[in-house]
Amino acid sequence: MSAGHDHSGHHHHDHAPKLDHLNAAFIWGIILNSAFVVIEVVAGLYTHSLSLLTDAGHNLSDVASLALALLAFKLTKVNANDNYTYGYKRSTIIVSFFNAVILFVAVGFIIYEAIMRFMHAEVVSGGTMAWVAFIGIGINAFTAWLFVKDKDTDLNVKGAYLHMAVDAIVSFGVVISGLIIYFTKLYWIDSAVSLIIAIVILRGTWSLLKDSLRLEMDGVPKAMELEKIKAELMKCKGIIDVHHMHVWALSTTENALTAHLVIKPELLPTFNSIKKDLRHRLQHMDINHATFEPEIEEEDCKQLNCD
């Protein structure tokens, strides 16, 4: 019944991050972290510090992540067309997954280099390590602060916030290791800190990878429960049953739902008002695009070959 379909794709939930606000945050993050990568590479080569070089590599991946996330947000504003009827909203999910993969590759490289350094320790300048990493604490903490307001509204913003917050902690660890090396000349501390950095990054990245893969596979978004959604739909007057319900993410900020609604035959002419009530309920549950298929009470969905 084509009259029973409702597409509310233009109703964005109120908590979605604003692109204009985030645009400046991403650009500042890209500029500051790019500059810091250059500083770390120069200082790392000068001091022979693996901690600085591996942290520079990680920060470079963060710059790429920020750039990709910014691009994805801009693509969500591109209008839908005949080939991409939902537009390019899904690019945000693809980017969040790709960023997680990039980090795992970076971690593998860090672990390998740390193990090699344990076997062949090099003399490093602890004082220079500490000063450079101290600058990193300020840059990463400031960048994380730029995203803290919107970190719970989007997976990519949360990823950016976590990356920067973790980097600030990592930089603090490098400061400590630099001071230890400066006073004790225990150069193996440099490799040990690199391994700790790798573990910290893995812990922060694992949840991002799971969440983004879940959305990539059209899984139900993490914060949503089908039973609660069904219970909310059943509260609507006139709904006898809800089945064949599917919930998935259109992007990291927008979710969609399709469902078959069993109603009494006499209520079919009022289905538009029922849809309006349902749409209002779903928007409060962060579902902003819904398609409903009405079924009268006597219909057998199996005989109708419903999906």
Reported as a single tens digit per residue, the pLDDT across 85-126 is: 888 888 888 888 887 887 788 778 778 877 877 777 667 777
- Among 132-146, 177-191, 217-231, where is mean pLDDT lowest? 177-191
> pLDDT by residue (tens digit) across 188-214?
887 888 788 788 778 777 877 888 888
User: Is the domain covering 19-216 a CATH 1.20.1510.10 domain?
Assistant: yes
pLDDT reading at 224 higher than 50: yes
Q: Which pLDDT value is given to residue 264?
A: 80
Q: Which CATH architecture has domain 221-296?
A: 2-Layer Sandwich (3.30)
Domain 19-216 and domain 221-296 have a common topology:
no
pLDDT, mean of residues 8-12: 39
> pLDDT by residue (tens digit) across 227-264?
999 998 888 888 888 989 999 988 877 899 999 989 88
Q: Cα-flanking dihedrals φ and ψ of residue 292, to 5°?
A: -115, 140
Length of the chain, in residues = 307
Q: Please state the pTM of the whole predicted model.
A: 0.69
Q: Which pLDDT value is given to residue 162?
A: 78
Q: Is 213 within 8 Å of 160 (Cβ atoms)?
A: no
Q: Is 261 within 8 Å of 233 (Cβ atoms)?
A: yes
Domain ranges of the chain: 19-216, 221-296
Q: Which pLDDT value is given to residue 19?
A: 56
pLDDT reading at 269 higher than 60: yes
Q: Which pLDDT value is given to residue 3?
A: 40
